Structure formats: structure tokens, C-alpha cells
Amino acid sequence: MKQWINKLRQERTLRQEEFRQLLTGCDAETLRYINEQAREVSLLHFGNRIYIRGLIEISNYCRNNCLYCGIRKGNPHIERYRLTEENILECCKQGYERGFRTFVLQGGEDPALTDDRIEKTVAAIRQSYPDCAITLSLGEKPREAYERFFQAGANRYLLRHETRNELHYKQLHPAEMSSKQRLQCLRDLKDIGYQTGTGIMVGSPGQTVEHIIEDIRFIEQLRPEMIGLGPFLPHHDTPFAGYPGGTVEQTLLLLSIFRLMHPSALIPATTALATLAPDGRERGILAGANVVMPNLSPREERKKYELYNDKASLGAESAEGLALLQKQLKAIGYEISTERGDFKCNAPRNKNKEQI
Ligand code: SAH
């Protein structure tokens, strides 16, 4: 197995059969080895500094009915909320004071958050914080809307493709949603000039090794600037309530595979991973992640943005908990970077002239 890992680091890709073997035959020793290799690559590119992004969950209203998601339209049991522009600017202010230089506005596809309203909010943040990056994660929109948000000052967009396989996509989403549409959105975002993020849930219901290989190939072709991977975790009020969640090990394996294939990509240790295991965030970083996204939403609303059971939003997952996060990172030899942390394709090479 180690020869495939060395080859992956060297050549940044593998043959189909080699990926299959790595994904099906990865034991504890192999996982340790690939995590170590990915960590080295991450250290060569980013040093021991972890970028932080302030996550503001702006609305849990959603017109969609994704089968896995706790804020789906069909869940009558959650209390819905929507932040005003004033609320959002207040979150940014608090975040800025704490050292955040990236704000991520995430939410359901809320029909009341019209393109005009989003454009206006982005412009207001851009005006108050000219030195910060603005990331949006607001789902599928027409190309014109993405263009307007970009003109207003947004720099990055997160839109996980969730799965590249069309049949699997249909298992995870209602009939009115389509994989084609989502992929078109990703192409539009890249074309407009956003630093674009995509990714998958690891261990989602129906996911097979073949699907994961399709996801790896898709991301290899798209070359996104950001790659988001977290374990699927069930939510009690969704059709997938009774399904098992993804595992820490499978998530860490994929994280490392993506780091070896995409050395300069921005890859977060996700909240879902930190929710699944108490040391998930640290293990994510030690497997090649270089970003964390603490929660900057108003405290009263955080519990309501429950995408899956017991979603973490306190302690080191929160903006108030930066000191704790700093301490946890220090314990594994890392520290917080308060730089904006844009994607850079020309990351420094190491002294041995290794191809990184
Ligand atoms: N509406 C936006 C934001 C969605 S929430 C959009 O469509 O992009 C952000 C991500 O959370 C989703 O892309 C999905 O991958 C993840 N997510 C949703 N439900 C989840 C669950 N039950 N377990 C793990 N991750 C989940």
C-alpha cells in the first residue's frame, strides 16, 4: 500500500485500481502513513499556520429538501431564523476584533434572501472591511446572481457537489434537484473568478468506493481552490435519521488523498469531523487540513442551524473560543494565522527541490 501512497505524493494521481486498493484496504498503519505524508506536504506549503474563517450562518430557511439535511424545507420541527443585515455586520465587527479576516456567509436557499438583499449585504461588508475576504455558501443561484455578488465584493464561494454520481445524487436529493444543475453552478463560479470550493460528505447513505473514485476524478479535473470534506452525520428529523454516519478514519484517509493530489488547496478540518470525535479537528490538521472555521453566528441562533445531530458550535468551534483553539493547536505544534489566506498556486518549494 505504501508504494501507492508514495506514488500519489510524487505524481499526484493514481490509476483506478490503485485508488480502489487504497480505499478498500487501508488499515491503521497505512492510514498513519498517508496522514503523515499529507501532513508533510501541508507543512511544506503552509508551514504550521492554520487559517481561520469566521462562519456566519445567516438563515436556516430553505426551499430545498435534501434528504440528509436538518434544515430541509420538510422539517417542521425546527425554529426558523434569518439574520438582518445589521446582525450580520455586527457578527463581522466582533469577528474582525478577534482577528478574523475572512467571513463566510452560509445559509439555506432562503427565498426571502433575494439577490438584491445579498448583493447589498456583501457590498456593505466590502465597504466596512476592505481588507477581508468574503466567502458565500448560499447554494445554487443563476449565473447573473453569482456575477452580481462578485461585483459587490465577494471573493470565494463554497458549493459542495455532494456526489459526482448521478444515481447517487438522486438518492440524496428530491427529484426536482439535479447533479447537472449543481455542476453548472460550479463551472459558472470558477468562470466568474471566484475561489471556488467543492466537496462531499464521507459515508453518505448509498455511497460506494466507486462513487468516491468518481468524486476524486471530478475534483482532479475541476481543480477547486478549496475542498470541503466531512463525515455524513444523521439528523433525527430527516429521512436518513436511522442511517449510520461516516467514520473518522474514512474522512482522514480522503483528506490525506486530497492533500497529496492538491498540495496548495485550502482544506478545512470541518465542524462535522470535530462533532464526530472530540479530537477530530486536530486529527484533521494532522492528516493535511490547513483551515478551521469557527462559528461567528449570534449565540442565540447557533443551535437552530442544526444540519445534523449535536452539531458543535461552542468551545474551540466558536469564535469566542479562539484562545482554546490556539491552545489545542499549540499542543500539536500549530498556530493560528490571522492572514486572509487566499489561494496561492505558487507556494514555496522546499530546499530539497522536491516537487510539491
Ligand atoms: N445551502 C448551502 C449550504 C449547505 S450546508 C448549499 O447548498 O451549499 C453546507 C454543507 O453541509 C452541505 O453542502 C453538506 O455537504 C453538509 N451537510 C448537510 N447535512 C449534513 C449532514 N447530515 N451530515 C454532514 N454534513 C451535512
For residue range 93-118, list pLDDT tens digits in order.
999 999 999 999 999 999 999 999 99
Q: Where is average pLDDT lowest: 29-43, 167-181, 318-332?
A: 318-332
Domain map (residue ranges) of the chain? 14-337
Does the CB atom of residue 189 touch ligand 1 within 6 A?
Answer: no
Cell of 331: 499542543
Query: CA 317 to CA 53: how far, in whole Å?
Result: 11
> What is the three-class DSSP state of 51?
strand
Q: How many CB atoms lie within 10 A of CB 214?
A: 16
Full DSSP string of 222-262 = H--SEEEEEE----TTSTTTTSPPP-HHHHHHHHHHHHHH-
User: For a pocket test of ligand 1, which of 105, 159, 173, 201 has the largest count of ligand atoms closer than 8 A to its C-beta?
Assistant: 201
CATH level 3 topology of 14-337: TIM Barrel (3.20.20)
Three-state DSSP at 184 gives helix
Determine the average pLDDT of the residues in 291-305: 94
Measured by CA distance, the residue closest to atom 15 of ligand 1 is 201
Residue 352 — pLDDT band, cuts 50, 70, 90? Answer: very low
Q: Find the Cα–Cα–Cα–Cα dihedral 292, 225, 60, 54, rounded to 10°.
A: 30
pLDDT for res 346: 58
> Are 37 and 263 a contacting pair, CB within 8 Å?
no
Residue 276 contacts residue 248 (beta carbons within 8 Å): yes
d(CA 177, CA 171) in angstroms, rounded, equals 11
**What would the pLDDT profile of 309-327 be if each residue is shown by its tens digit?**
999 998 888 878 899 999 9
Tell me if 199 sits within 8 A of 160, measured CB to CB: yes
Q: Is 90 in the pocket of ligand 1 (CB under 6 A)?
A: no
In 3-state terms, what secondary structure has residue 94? Answer: helix
Distance (Å, rounded) from C-alpha 36 to C-alpha 285? 11
State how far the Cα of 179 lies from the Cα of 170, in Å rounded to an integer: 8
Q: What average pLDDT does this structure show over 235-243?
A: 98
pLDDT for position 316: 85
Helix (H) or strand (E) holding 102: strand 102-107
Give the three cell numbers for residue 259.
492533500
Q: 2 CA to middle of ligand 1, Å?
A: 33
Q: Is residue 237 in contact with ligand 1, taking CB distance under 6 Å?
A: no
